[in-house]
Amino acid sequence: MTKTYRIAVIPGDGIGKEVVPEGVRVLEAAARVYGIGVDFEHFDFASAEYYQAHGQMLPDDWFETLKGFDAIYFGAVGWPDVVPDHVSLWGSLLQFRRHFDQYVNLRPVRLLPGIVSPLAGRAPGDVDFYVVRENTEGEYSSIGGKMFEGTDREVVVQETVMTRQGVDRILDYAFRLAQSRPKKHLTSATKSNGISITMPYWDERVEARAEQYPGIRVDKFHIDILAANFVLHPDWFDVVVASNLFGDILSDLGPACTGTIGVAPSANINPEGTFPSLFEPVHGSAPDIAGKGLANPIGQIWCASMMFDHFGEKEAGAGVLRAIEETLAAGEHLTRDLGGTAGTAELGAAIAERVLGQG
């Protein structure tokens, strides 16, 4: 054993409390099999219960408490009966994202065996790419304002902000990710035919950064036809990089092309490792099924695979993903959203067993 990774575990609300323990079970199994040290610390903040007791989502010293961890393993936040969604989100996840400078939002788009894709005729292998979304600037700026408010001359403006540093660092992350993959192909999402200042700048930076990565094939699509091609030709893509707004849309469209929401993972990454990165499933707290032991834990477990990848523990990352795929292919111990009858813990245990079998 070389390094021990310190992982902050934050289950949050609803099914987060049910799927996170299954993720931890699989993390522990993979750590044992692949000889990796992991040290977990559990936190009850970023939840409706914490909010009820303290009137805020996080303790005042959350930054000091979390900043030394290697990663945050997050469930889901949101319990609208107790906390309005914008309060729970802004009071927790978005604070982490901002203060820990998690400027990459990464989502794999990969069709898993045994899952029916809404794209007819697509098999695993046809759909296997990443969406890399810029997570801090771009279209989601708060610069703007209103004029002549309340009159029929009302004007409303919101600016897009792109900085050289902000654009280059997300592009560099995406280029490096493409370098690590067999196809070595990067696609840029643009709209420089309609948005005439910021998007041509984005294109210009793509061309400039591409010179540093001569082995990568680069192409670009306007966002409208790119969205269409996610559906029509998902096999065309390897790594897709996009600004904040375009990435937001693509990172929901992509996983939607691979079937159920319960299996999709995501990561908010600070690539330099100055601060912890955060791994969370795409799904939310799912109040409608919470507390019943029905939730699919695969999205949360796949996050464990992404976390190992982020640590550079590629064998463990691949091992966890393989265990998920073998379990799905076998078609047993599946939860109801996958057409089975098993509960959350049964599916989690089945995947952990397969990981242990890799030892």
Q: In whole angstroms, give the CA distance from residue 266 to residue 322.
A: 18
Q: In whole angstroms, give the CA distance from residue 305 to residue 266.
A: 11
Q: Is the Cβ of residue 262 or residue 284 nearer to Mg ion in the bound state? A: 284
> What are the residues binding ligand ATP (CB under 6 A)?
15, 78, 261-262, 283-286, 288-289, 295-296, 299, 337
Extract the tokens encoding 154.
Answer: 């009302």
The footprint of Mg ion on this chain (CB under 5 A) covers a number of residues equal to: 2
Q: Is the Cβ of residue 113 or residue 293 nearer to ligand ATP in the bound state? A: 293
Q: Pick the catalytic residue from 34, 101, 191, 309.
A: 191
Which positions from 106 to 145 touch Mg ion by CB under 5 A, shown as an x/- string? ----------------------------------------
Q: Minimum Å distance from CB 18 to ligand ATP?
A: 9
Rg (CA), the chain: 21
Q: Supply φ then ψ for residue 238, to 5 degrees.
A: -130, -65
Q: Minimum Å distance from CB 347 to ligand ATP?
A: 10
Extract the tokens encoding 244.
Answer: 């904040």
Half-sphere exposure of 157 (CA within 13 A, CB side): 9
Which of 78, 247, 281, 317 lies at the binding interface for Mg ion (CB under 5 A)?
A: 78
Q: Pick the catalytic residue from 140, 168, 201, 220.
A: 140
Q: Which one of ligand ATP, Mg ion, none is in contact with 134 (Cβ closer than 5 to 8 A by kind)?
A: none
Q: What angle do CA 213, 214, 217 make, to 5 degrees?
A: 90
Q: Pick the catalytic residue from 238, 248, 309, 337.
A: 248
Quick one: how many helices (H) and strands (E) in the chain? 12, 12
Q: How does strand 4-12 pair with strand 185-190?
A: unpaired
Q: Minimum Å distance from CB 71 to Mg ion?
A: 24
Q: Report the amino acid identity of residue 344.
A: T
The yes or no reply on residue 284 touching Mg ion (CB under 5 A) is: yes
Q: Minimum Å distance from CB 79 to Mg ion?
A: 9
Q: How does strand 155-158 pair with strand 144-147?
A: antiparallel
Using CA atoms, how far residue 180 sits from 232, 239, 318, 322, in Å, is 26, 10, 14, 18
Whether 47 and 12 have beta carbons less than 8 Å apart is answered as yes
b/e string for 75-92 if b means 16 or more Cβ within 10 A? Answer: bbbbbeeebeeeebbebb
Q: Is the Cβ of residue 15 or residue 301 nearer to Mg ion in the bound state? A: 15
> Is 128 an active-site residue?
no
Instruction: Determine the interface stretch with Mg ion among 22-30, 44-52, 71-79, 323-331 (rule: CB under 5 A).
Output: 71-79
Q: Is the Cβ of residue 265 or residue 284 nearer to Mg ion in the bound state? A: 284
Q: Minimum Å distance from CB 153 to ligand ATP?
A: 36
Cα four-point dihedral sign 331, 336, 337, 343: negative
Q: Pick the catalytic residue from 85, 126, 224, 235.
A: 224
Q: Is the Cβ of residue 88 or residue 190 nearer to ligand ATP in the bound state? A: 88
Q: Is the Cβ of residue 58 or residue 186 nearer to ligand ATP in the bound state? A: 58
Binding site for Mg ion (CB under 5 A): 78, 284
- Provide the annotated active-site residues: 140, 191, 224, 248, 252
